[in-house]
Structure 1
């Protein structure tokens, strides 16, 4: 997951108010239930000295939220009387301790959000036929759009009537229409996949037309995956694709980390070396295997790369300490500032000192 899109959040001076809210819509009076949950979170924020303008901004978003059925949640971050980040969570944040559901500090507390975002893999399903295709755009749990791609309708079926010459001419006309419809479908798939940032494309439907579309996808061919079974629900397919994409991403980064670490190359692990690499802007992808989203505190300065366990490291470079924050909050800001990536996995995938490591852009001199 690339952290660059979060840069706009960290361009704000702070302090920040971070709220994780259960917005599940299964209760009989869902709107009232959500309001009551927000009151509890708001009380926790007020106890930490949250600015009234920030609380009002979040409350307006909560009131405007349209309850939907199913188990879900939201993360909301406010600063300077504005909501600067709002996103859906794939499940209620009820597993978070109360102090993490409501957090006020110099930086937003985003690691719980990012951990949950790992289950949001956007992908596209194309049910292909000779006359077009039905596209399903899946952004995450419960977030889908249906789009119909209509191609030329007649003739699209071959027949055996007529003399041999007319028969061949008719078949060629049909195959040309198949190809033109495949081109239209492939173009729409490519464009829609780009717009939603799809990490996978699943092709179903008529075998021959599916092969034509696949051949015309261009760069999007690399996204095509084959599900284990086509006889599953959309939610089961979403979960399967999510697991497959995550496994591939984690495997790729872990393999590179091990290769570089084994030859003393572009890899570091442990808090001291990884934080130093973050300070230098060396980190390309950070590996995080700890379940502890606090993992102690770090000192921070005003700049995104100003983080350290030792105050002197910041002061010696002319910076000023603006506060102490959970280590994960400082790390995420540094990753966003460096436009670096983050991979969250469990310790079984890779054994890292302190639960943290990184693949670097370059070796330190």
Structure 2
């Protein structure tokens, strides 16, 4: 996973105020609950020495995700009185937290965003005509609808996104409503629009949700898709599509995407993981464990850092001024002649080194690739003797 979305956090020095907040709205009086949670974190930041301008910048963005249904959260970052980044979290944080530190506390955000797989989700619903204004805000709504009884229309609802953030950061949505007797001749046009959508967003997976009793409607559509896309289609055949307000509504398509993509890696991460396994077969000690990862980052030789969810990281690592200056201890940096260094939380220090050295991050499911310490590193070049961290 590329980490360019974190660039705003590494273009200026800290101190950084970082906040993770549960902003779920599936409770009674959510605004009051969110305000109470924020006040606790605001007070924590002020107690750590955050300036009021920075805290005020954060306050303006808290709860701005009020249009999102269900459980979710926010990650917010500010420095020197300016809001730098606000990201919606597909899952609320395990606990709210506010931290002021030299480095942004961005590792939990990066982990929640992984594996960042682009997808196209399609729901096919067969039923009666829906109200004329139902879905009117969607793009591409077919207006050629007559007033017929139940079972006389096909509705196609599609949405693009990136798993797992699609539910809180949706992409393009299209909706069509077609008389059943026009489906055979209309499906090619719908398939072309879906193919364009998939190509435009570089969808690696197409999740098609259908009624298990209806094989003909989705079969007609899939057969009209380009051959290159048919191999990416996964059919969710569990009766999830039942009509308006059901599975085709906002956020629910993404739940079915999750069933398909949970535990998967993006195509790019899969390739990097395969390269890592080949490398580890030759150089195991240089490929896994926190010591190997830090050594590779010191040399600017890390192509990708692999982290298993729940990796066993040390409490802290040591950083110098320059990006490659990362070490397990202050003594290690002193041995390289580094005279100015500081202790930082290990997850923040690793992410800082990964971003600043242009490496990528792969977050692995727990049992995908067993790793010492839950950490691995794919080297950018053939192994070479260690160089100075200066």
What TM-score does the superposition give when structure 2 sets the normalisation length? 0.73
Distance 1:294 1:51 in 2: 31
Residues 95-106 of structure 1 mapped to structure 2, 5 A cutoff = 95-96=94-95, 101-106=97-102
Distance 1:79 1:267 in 2: 37
Shift in alpha-carbon separation, 1:230–1:297, aligned structure 2, 3 A:
same
Q: Which runs of 5+ in 2 are unaligned?
A: 126-141, 143-154, 210-216, 241-246, 248-252, 385-390
Structure with greater helix percent:
1
Q: State the 1:244 CA deviation.
A: 5.2
Residues 1-365 of structure 1 mapped to structure 2, 5 A cutoff = 1-62=1-62, 64-66=64-66, 68-93=68-93, 95-96=94-95, 101-118=97-114, 121-127=117-123, 134-138=157-161, 139-144=165-170, 146-148=173-175, 182-191=191-200, 193-194=201-202, 198-203=203-208, 205-215=217-227, 224-229=232-237, 231-232=239-240, 233=247, 234-243=253-262, 245-246=264-265, 253-264=272-283, 268-289=287-308, 291=310, 295-311=314-330, 314=333, 321-365=340-384
Deviation by residue 1:176-199 (Cα, 9 ceiling, x = unmatched): x865664344223322x24xxx44
Q: State the 1:37 CA deviation.
A: 0.4
Shift in alpha-carbon separation, 1:303–1:5, aligned structure 2, 3 A:
farther
Q: Which runs of 5+ in 1 are unaligned?
A: 159-173
Deviates more, 1:253-262 or 1:263-272: 263-272
Shift in alpha-carbon separation, 1:124–1:12, aligned structure 2, 3 A:
same
Distance 2:335 2:29 in 1: 57
- Provide the secondary structure at the position in 2 that maps to 1:27: coil
Shift in alpha-carbon separation, 1:323–1:258, aligned structure 2, 3 A:
same
Distance 2:218 2:345 in 1: 53
Q: State the 1:221 CA deviation.
A: 6.3
Shift in alpha-carbon separation, 1:125–1:290, aligned structure 2, 3 A:
closer
Q: State the 1:284 CA deviation.
A: 1.8
Q: State the 1:312 CA deviation.
A: 5.5
Distance 2:275 2:285 in 1: 9
- Provide the secondary structure at the position in 1 that maps to 2:233: coil
Q: State the 1:316 CA deviation.
A: 6.5
Q: State the 1:290 CA deviation.
A: 6.1
What TM-score does the superposition give when structure 1 sets the normalisation length? 0.77
Shift in alpha-carbon separation, 1:278–1:150, aligned structure 2, 3 A:
farther
Distance 2:183 2:256 in 1: 31
Deviation by residue 1:202-253 (Cα, 9 ceiling, x = unmatched): 34654233222233xx6x667x231353533435412213315339877655
Deviation by residue 1:307-332 (Cα, 9 ceiling, x = unmatched): 11243554666755352111111111
Greater relative CO, 1 or 2 (CA 8 Å, sep 6+): 1
Q: State the 1:2 CA deviation.
A: 1.6
Q: State the 1:344 CA deviation.
A: 2.3
RMSD: 3.5
| Count of residue pairs the alignment pairs up | 333
Q: State the 1:87 CA deviation.
A: 0.7
